[in-house]
Structure 1
Amino acid sequence: MAGPDRENEDFVGATPDAVVVLDGAGHPARLQTGCVHSVAWYTRMLGSSLLGMLAVNDRPLADMLAESIKTVASLHSSSCDLAHPGSPSATVLLLRRTPDSLDWLVLADSVLVLDMHTTAEPMVISDNRLESVADGLRTRLDSLPTGSSDHEQERYAFVEALLRHRNRDGGYWVASADPQAAENALTGSVPTDAVRATALLSDGASRLVDLFGLASWRRLLDILENEGPAELINQVRTAEGTDPHGARWPRSKAHDDATVAYWRL
């Protein structure tokens, strides 16, 4: 679900045995990207490629992500400057079920939550490298009212500074035009029969827990199980609405695209 006045830059899709969630990295409108395509176009192309591969392929998830990044790059390399630091990009969550294992891949700041049979608390998997870089750059941004002209000016400077750390060692990695990002994704597996359910969350949805602190991961799973993804997003929007200028919860955007995939196994 996007904000009321703009296109959703997230992507979600599934096969009977796999789920893909991408969170497109939206930027201030005046930021140069070197690309004639939108972030939403990029996430749709990358998501579609990944779904197609997951439906017919059992290769490692990182290999499939690398090939999909190459495939999408080939679609616009002749019209766009793919070396530009602002070229469209996205976080990636991949989850695949096999008879024996549940394989996962996490790249950048979306969140995977696994509801385990054997523990009361879920397993939470998140790539915090983007957050680690951003935290050192956003002190002034967080001091300004969200949506103000000063905040928008500082957000532009913040994003430009952040992009200088994108897809390089010591910085953070996202899917864009460089397939090397796939090699730097977090990957792993758990036994299929150890997991009750899973939640794949863009950071616009996970903010109820990891930004607002209004629920635990256990509570988030209970909301999804009993009331569904729409209720989780409703609670996120309600919280955002109580703090439109970021006084309680400083943030880059008052509202962010919020996407949830909940899978009962």
Structure 2
Amino acid sequence: MLEPPGWESRIPRWLRPRAALWLGGRVGRLVLHGAGELVRVQIFDRSMTLAAQSFTSIFPLLIMLAAVLGPHYRSRLTGLLHLPADSERLLQEALSGSHSNAFGLAGSVIVILSATGLSRALVRSYLVVWTVEQKPAGAAATGRQIGTVLVLVVFLLFARVLGWLASLLPAPHVSGLLVSFVADCSLAILLPWLLLGGRAPRGPLLAGGVVFGLLMIAVRGGEAIYLPRALKSSTDKYGTIGLTFTYIGWLYVLSFCLLLAAIIGGIVSREFFTRVPADEP
């Protein structure tokens, strides 16, 4: 009887039960380890905290920029947020009378400093996920927190620019997927590096970035279909306040993916890329 093609055909018959047992045990151990990490990190609670902090940190910055940069940026903001027509009109009317003097220097500083609440929540999450003992402190840590929020805002603003650049490349759909993947990986690596500096473990950092990029391939596909419809439905049922519920729900999904990627990155790095020291004689 001919052996079926594949890697298992190269394993001696007497070793196949042992190989299957070893593989099943390894996979089972990884699954149990991953489930334990999800419980230890309290991923559901932390994801909701990050979602709420993202909403109250990033949106005020976007509105401040809309007031400062003028009407051209306001149209880009409404397009970035995928707002329905009624909500877009309300936002335009609310911002039409605003200008840079509406915030002022002191108001802008307060908005930026308030936005660091998201950075602090991310720091607490990464410290728990990767069991980093020493928390960053001092003026340098505050500067890193402010820089992290600004990086997130810049990433949101230039997401469409990346899509436009991808459309100029051969095979636009494949190029767009690759560009988004690289951008998402870079963001997931850059955020903890900015927040933790040298305290961020290199292996989990890189592995988590790749995992986040892979997760976002599926999430972005769902975003294009789900988010506009959900925003329209919530606006029709609950008015403009329904947008808040939808955005926080979507930010929860993104926060969950970010933490999940960090957890998986830590497990993968520890299980497959950490060298076990040889026993001393």
In the superposition, the TM-score normalised over structure 2's length comes to 0.28
Larger gyration radius, structure 1 or structure 2: 2
In the superposition, the TM-score normalised over structure 1's length comes to 0.29
Please identify which structure carries the higher helix content: 2
